[in-house]
C-alpha cells in the first residue's frame, strides 16, 4: 500500500475548471463513500476549497494505476472529460504526498503564504473523512503529523505575522506611525469586506474609539459595530467626525471620491492644528489627491501600501524556507514510521511471546520459594523483565536495521517464535502499531556507559533505536582515601545503603582491587533504592534485606522510617554529586552515617562534537537526560547553538533533572515522574501516542 494524492490548485488550473471539480460541502460525505467504494482504495480524504481540490488516499496496486484510478474518479464524478482534466492535474506519491499535505496545512502552499484559513479547512476535511470511516491507520497518522507540522511552522516562524493584504497593511502602516492605538480616535469609512477587515484589525491592535461610516446604520455595519463596541455613523455625519478623528481608513466601493479636499479644508480650523492621517485603500480612490496637500493632513493610498505588502511578502518567503526545513524533518519522521509499519505486528507479537515465557518462568521460580518475601518477589520480577529485554534486543535490532530485507527477517521471526500459532483473537494486526508509538524513533541515550544499556534495551523492545551518546563519564580517580574509608567502615556498619547500579559496581571494584569478595560484608544488612539496584546486588550473589519503592531516595527514606535507626551505623557509598537528601534524612532519624565518595561524575566532552553532528544532520528525534549533570553537559555541548534542539523532544527523569535543565534554558517536553528507565520510556510512549491530537492555533 502506498500514499497517493491527485488534485488541481490555483497554480495548475483556472478558476473555471476548479469550480467544475469542486465538491459541494453537502455532497462531500457521498463523494467519500464513492471514493471508498473503489476496489484499490483503502483510505481516503477529500480537500475541496476555492483554491484547490485534492484527494489523498492509501491504495493498493501500481502507482500509475492508482493515479489513473483517481483521475477516472474525478472525471466520472464531476462529468468532466479526462482529456480536459489531465493537463491541469497534479499527482504526488509517498514522501512527496506527505510533504505536499504538510505544506498545505501550514499555509506554505497557499496563494497568500501563511494564511491561517487553510488549516481549518484541512481539519474539516479530516473530520468528515473520520466520520465516514475513510481515515485508517496511515491517514490518521499522516493528518496528525500534518497538524503538528502546521503548529510548529506557525508558532516557530514569522510566516503568518506580517501583513500581506491591503487592509492588514493599512493597519500596519497606522501602527508604524502611532505605535499604540489605545487613545486614538479612528474612523473607518465603508463596512464591506475590506472595511470589516480593517476595523477588526484596528480593534485587535488596541483601538477602542472606532466609528464606522456607512450608508445605513443597520445591516452589516450595525453587526460589525456591535462586535467591536463601535459607533455606527451615516455619511451625513462624516465631516463632523473628521474634525475629531486622528486616523481615517477609507475603503468604500463608490465610483467617485467620497472625501474631497474642499470639504476637509473647511474642518481644519476645528482641529486646532492636530495632524490627520488618512489611509485610502479603495480602487477607484475614495480620497481626492488634493487632500494630501493640505496642512497637517497626511494621505497614503494603495500604492504606498503595496510597498509594505511587498516587503512583508519577501519576509514571509524567507520565513517559509524555515518552515519547509521543519516540514522536511516531519516528513522524514512520518516516512520512518511508515517504513516500520509492516514490522509493527512482529514487534508487538514477539514482545508478547517473550514476556509471557519469562513471566511463566518467574511464576514457577516464585512457587519454589515458598517463603519468598515481597522484596524478593519484586527482584524476581525485575530479573524476568531484564531477561525478556535481553532476549528481545538482538532480533528486534536486526529487524529494524534489515532495510529491504525486513519482510524476510519478519517472516523468519514469525517461524522461529511460532508467532502465527496465536489464537485468532490474539493475533497482532498492523493497526496494533498504535501500541508501538516509539516505532522508528531515534533516541539519544546520554547516560554514562555503565547505565546506558538498560535504557537502550528498553527502547529497542518498543521499536525505537537507542543511540548511545554518553554525556557524562564515571571514574574513581583520586578517591583512594575514600575507598579505604568505605572498606574500613564495612565491618562495623549495621546497614549498607546502595542507591544506584553505579554504586554497586564501584563498591565491587573497590573490593576486588583489595582482593576481597562478598565475605567482606560480614553481617551487614543491605538496602537497595529499587528493584534494579537489588537485581545488581543479586548478580553478585547478595540479597537485599530492604528494597525501596518508586526508585528514588524518598522511597528508601520512608522505608526506614518504619525502623528505629537511632544509634545505627549506616554506610552509604555514593557518587560525588549525590548524598545530601538521604544523609540528612537518615541523620534526622538518629543514624550515624558514613558516606564515602566512590566515583566522580564528569562531563564527557569528547562526545560533544558527535552529539552536535547528530543534531545538525537531523538524526535524532529525542534526547534523554537522567541527571542534572547530563543537562549541564548537554548545555555545554550545544555551545550556544540552541537551535540544534529545534524539533527534538527533550525527555528527562524526575523533577530535579527537569528543574536543572530549565535553569540552563533547555526545553523540557517530557518529564518522567518514575525515576527509572522504564518510567522514562513509558512517559515517551504517552507523549508520542498523544502527539498531534490537540487543537492547534
pLDDT digits (tens, 9 = 90+) for 459-499: 877 778 888 999 998 888 999 999 999 988 888 888 898 88
Mean pLDDT check: name the lowest of 179-188, 328-337, 448-457, 628-637. Answer: 448-457
Average pLDDT, the chain: 83
Peptide bond into 273 cis (omega under 30): no
Instruction: Specify the higher pLDDT residue, 39 or 535.
Output: 39
Mean pLDDT check: name the lowest of 3-7, 371-375, 614-618. Answer: 371-375
Give the 3-state secondary structure of residue 499: coil
CA 697 to centroid of chain Cα atoms:
14
Name residue 91's beta-bridge partners: 6
Summary count for the chain: helices (H), strands (E): 26, 23
DSSP character string of 298-332: EEE-HHHHHHHHHHHHHHHHHHHHHHHHHHHHHHH
Give residue 334's pLDDT. 86
In the block, residue with C-alpha cell 460541502 = 25
609 falls in which pLDDT band (50, 70, 90)? very high
**Cα angle, residue 440 at apex, residues 623 and 455 outer, rounded to 5°:** 50
Name residue 56's beta-bridge partners: 5, 45
62 falls in which pLDDT band (50, 70, 90)? confident
199 falls in which pLDDT band (50, 70, 90)? confident
Whether pLDDT at 693 is above 80: no
Instruction: Specify the higher pLDDT residue, 693 or 625.
Output: 625
Q: Give pLDDT tens digits for 69-89.
A: 999 999 999 999 999 999 999
Helix (H) or strand (E) holding 672: strand 670-672
Joined together, the cell numbers standing for residue 98 give 506527505
Instruction: Specify the higher pLDDT residue, 619 or 28.
Output: 28
Q: Give pLDDT tens digits for 263-282.
A: 999 999 998 889 999 988 88
Give residue 430's pLDDT. 54
Q: Report which of 215, 244, 217 is spatially closest to residue 231, judged by C-alpha positions.
A: 217
Mean pLDDT of 16-32: 91
Interatomic CA distance for residues 366 and 112, integer angstroms? 68
164 falls in which pLDDT band (50, 70, 90)? low
196 falls in which pLDDT band (50, 70, 90)? confident
Give residue 2's pLDDT. 85
Task: Name 452's Cβ contacts closer than 8 Å, sequence gap at least 6.
Answer: 445, 466, 468, 470
Q: Give pLDDT tens digits for 222-266.
A: 888 888 888 888 888 888 889 999 999 898 888 888 899 999 999
Task: Name 506's Cβ contacts closer than 8 Å, sequence gap at least 6.
Answer: 474, 476, 573, 598, 599
Whether pLDDT at 695 is above 50: no
Interatomic CA distance for residues 692 and 151, integer angstroms? 9
Name residue 299's beta-bridge partners: 278
Q: Report which of 10, 49, 282, 291 is spatially closest to residue 170, judged by C-alpha positions.
A: 282
Could you give phi then psi for residue 6, rounded to 5 degrees?
Answer: -135, 160
Give residue 433's pLDDT. 54
Joined together, the cell numbers standing for residue 470 give 554518553
Decide: 486 and 573 in contact? Cβ < 8 Å: yes
Supply the residues annotated as catalytic. Answer: 50
Interatomic CA distance for residues 581 and 558, integer angstroms? 13
Packing angle between helix 219-228 and helix 193-204, nearest 10 degrees? 10
Decide: 185 and 244 in contact? Cβ < 8 Å: yes
DSSP character string of 369-428: -TT--HHHHHHHHHHHHHHHHHHHHHHHHHHHT-GGGHHHHHHHHHHHTTGGGS-GGGPP
Whether pLDDT at 390 is above 60: yes
Give residue 87's pLDDT. 94
Whether pLDDT at 353 is above 90: no
**Between the CA atoms of 110, 112, 117 and 118, what dihedral angle is there, to the nearest 10 degrees?**
0
Mean pLDDT of 584-602: 87
Packing angle between helix 580-588 and helix 553-560, nearest 10 degrees? 10
Decide: 380 and 365 in contact? Cβ < 8 Å: yes
Question: Where would I find the beta strands (DSSP E) of 170-327?
Answer: 185-189, 209-213, 231-233, 247-250, 276-280, 297-300
The edge-to-edge listing of strands for the beta sheet with 276-280 is 231-233, 209-213, 185-189, 247-250, 276-280, 297-300
The edge-to-edge listing of strands for the beta sheet with 41-48 is 41-48, 52-59, 2-9, 90-93
Interatomic CA distance for residues 302 and 287, integer angstroms? 11
Whether pLDDT at 315 is above 80: no
Mean pLDDT of 570-593: 81
Give residue 57's pLDDT. 95
In the block, residue with C-alpha cell 537485599 = 544
Whether pLDDT at 427 is above 90: no
Percent of the chain with pLDDT over 70: 90
Give the 3-state secondary structure of residue 98: helix
Decide: 536 and 518 in contact? Cβ < 8 Å: no
Mean pLDDT of 107-136: 87
Give the 3-state secondary structure of residue 262: helix
Mean pLDDT of 625-646: 90
Mean pLDDT check: name the lowest of 49-53, 210-214, 286-290, 650-654. Answer: 49-53
Give residue 92's pLDDT. 94
The residue count of the chain comes to: 697
Mean pLDDT check: name the lowest of 176-185, 313-322, 586-595. Answer: 313-322
Mean pLDDT of 410-425: 74
Interatomic CA distance for residues 95 and 106, integer angstroms? 16
439 falls in which pLDDT band (50, 70, 90)? confident
Q: Report which of 43, 49, 45, 44 is spatially closest to residue 10, judged by C-alpha positions.
A: 49
Name residue 412's beta-bridge partners: none
Q: Report which of 676, 371, 437, 642 is spatially closest to residue 533, judged by C-alpha positions.
A: 676
Interatomic CA distance for residues 322 and 394, integer angstroms? 39
Mean pLDDT of 643-669: 90
Max CA pair span of the chain: 109
Whether pLDDT at 617 is above 90: no
Distances (CA, A) of 317 to 114, 153, 172, 385, 454: 9, 13, 19, 52, 46
Packing angle between helix 117-131 and helix 94-105, nearest 10 degrees? 120
DSSP character string of 421-458: GS-GGGPPPGGGGGG-TTTT-EEEE-S-HHHHHHHHHH
Interatomic CA distance for residues 134 and 130, integer angstroms? 6
Amino acid at each position: 500500500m502506498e500514499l497517493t494524492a491527485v488534485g488541481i490548485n490555483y497554480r495548475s488550473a483556472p478558476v473555471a475548471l476548479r469550480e467544475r471539480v469542486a465538491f459541494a460541502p453537502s455532497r462531500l460525505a457521498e463523494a467519500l463513500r464513492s471514493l471508498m467504494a473503489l476496489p484499490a482504495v483503502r483510505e481516503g480524504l477529500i480537500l475541496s476549497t476555492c483554491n484547490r481540490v485534492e484527494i489523498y488516499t492509501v491504495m493498493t496496486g501500481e502507482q500509475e494505476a492508482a493515479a489513473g484510478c483517481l483521475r477516472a474518479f474525478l472525471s466520472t464524478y464531476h462529468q468532466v472529460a479526462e482529456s480536459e482534466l489531465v493537463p491541469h492535474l497534479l499527482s504526488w506519491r509517498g514522501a512527496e504526498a506527505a510533504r505536499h499535505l504538510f505544506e498545505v496545512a501550514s499555509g506554505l502552499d497557499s496563494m497568500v503564504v501563511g494564511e491561517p484559513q487553510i488549516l481549518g479547512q484541512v481539519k474539516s476535511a479530516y473530520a468528515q473523512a473520520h466520520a465516514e470511516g475513510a481515515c485508517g491507520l496511515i491517514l490518521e497518522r499522516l493528518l496528525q503529523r500534518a497538524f503538528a507540522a502546521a503548529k510548529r511552522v506557525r508558532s516557530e516562524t514569522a510566516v503568518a505575522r506580517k501583513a500581506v493584504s491591503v487592509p492588514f497593511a493599512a493597519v500596519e502602516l497606522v501602527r508604524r506611525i502611532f505605535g499604540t492605538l489605545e487613545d486614538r480616535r479612528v474612523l473607518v469609512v465603508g463596512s464591506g469586506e475590506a472595511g470589516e477587515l480593517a476595523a477588526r484589525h484596528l480593534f485587535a491592535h488596541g483601538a477602542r474609539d472606532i466609528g464606522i461610516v456607512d450608508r445605513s446604520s443597520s445591516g452589516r455595519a450595525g453587526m460589525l459595530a456591535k462586535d467591536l463596541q463601535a459607533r455606527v455613523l451615516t455619511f451625513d455625519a462624516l465631516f463632523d467626525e473628521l474634525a475629531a478623528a486622528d486616523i481615517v481608513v477609507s475603503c468604500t466601493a463608490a465610483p467617485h471620491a467620497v472625501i474631497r479636499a474642499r470639504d476637509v479644508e473647511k474642518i481644519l480650523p476645528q482641529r486646532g492644528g492636530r495632524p490627520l492621517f488618512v489611509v485610502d485603500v479603495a480602487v477607484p480612490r475614495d480620497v481626492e489627491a488634493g487632500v494630501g496637500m493640505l496642512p497637517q493632513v497626511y494621505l497614503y493610498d494603495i500604492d504606498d501600501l503595496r510597498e509594505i505588502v511587498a516587503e512583508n511578502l519577501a519576509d514571509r518567503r524567507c520565513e517559509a524556507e524555515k518552515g519547509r526545513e521543519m516540514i522536511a524533518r516531519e516528513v522524514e519522521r512520518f516516512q520512518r514510521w511508515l517504513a516500520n509499519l509492516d514490522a509493527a505486528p512482529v514487534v508487538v507479537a514477539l514482545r508478547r511471546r517473550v514476556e509471557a515465557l519469562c513471566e511463566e518462568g518467574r511464576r514457577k521460580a516464585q512457587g519454589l520459594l515458598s517463603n519468598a518475601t515481597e522484596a524478593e518477589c519484586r527482584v524476581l520480577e525485575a530479573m524476568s523483565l531484564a531477561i525478556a529485554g535481553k532476549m528481545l534486543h538482538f532480533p528486534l535490532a536486526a529487524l529494524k536495521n534489515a532495510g529491504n530485507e525486513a519482510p524476510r527477517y519478519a517472516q523468519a521471526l514469525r517461524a522461529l517464535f511460532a508467532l502465527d500459532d496465536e489464537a485468532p483473537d490474539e493475533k497482532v494486526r498492523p493497526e496494533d502499531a498504535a501500541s508501538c508509538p516509539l516505532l522508528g524513533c531515534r533516541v539519544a541515550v546520554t547516560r554514562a556507559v555503565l547505565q546506558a544499556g538498560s535504557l537502550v534495551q528498553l527502547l529497542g523492545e518498543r521499536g525505537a533505536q537507542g543511540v548511545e551518546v554518553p554525556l557524562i563519564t564515571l571514574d574513581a580517580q583520586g578517591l583512594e582515601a575514600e575507598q579505604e574509608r568505605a572498606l574500613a567502615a564495612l565491618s562495623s556498619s549495621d546497614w549498607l545503603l546502595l542507591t544506584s547500579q553505579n554504586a554497586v559496581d564501584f563498591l565491587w571494584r573497590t573490593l576486588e582491587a583489595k582482593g576481597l569478595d562478598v565475605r567482606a560484608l560480614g553481617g551487614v544488612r543491605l538496602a537497595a533504592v529499587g528493584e534494579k539496584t537489588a537485581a545488581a546486588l543479586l548478580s553478585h550473589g547478595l540479597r537485599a534485606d530492604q528494597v525501596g519503592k518508586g526508585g528514588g531516595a524518598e522511597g528508601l527514606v520512608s522505608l526506614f522510617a518504619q525502623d528505629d535507626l537511632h544509634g545505627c551505623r549506616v554506610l552509604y557509598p555514593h557518587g560525588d554529586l549525590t548524598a545530601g537528601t538521604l544523609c540528612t534524612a537518615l541523620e534526622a532519624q538518629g543514624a550515624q552515617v558514613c558516606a564515602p565518595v566512590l566515583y566522580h561524575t564528569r562531563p564527557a566532552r569528547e562526545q560533544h562534537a558527535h552529539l552536535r553532528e547528530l543534531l545538525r544532520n537531523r538524526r535524532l528525534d529525542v534526547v534523554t537526560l537522567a541527571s542534572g549533570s547530563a543537562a549541564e553537559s548537554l548545555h555545554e555541548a550545544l555551545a550556544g547553538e540552541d537551535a540544534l534542539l529545534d524539533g527534538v523532544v527533550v525527555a528527562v527523569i524526575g523533577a530535579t533533572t527537569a528543574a536543572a535543565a530549565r535553569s540552563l534554558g533547555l526545553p523540557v517536553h517530557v518529564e518522567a515522574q518514575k525515576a527509572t528507565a522504564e518510567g522514562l520510556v513509558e512517559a515517551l510512549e504517552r507523549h508520542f501516542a498523544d502527539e498531534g491530537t490537540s487543537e492547534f492555533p
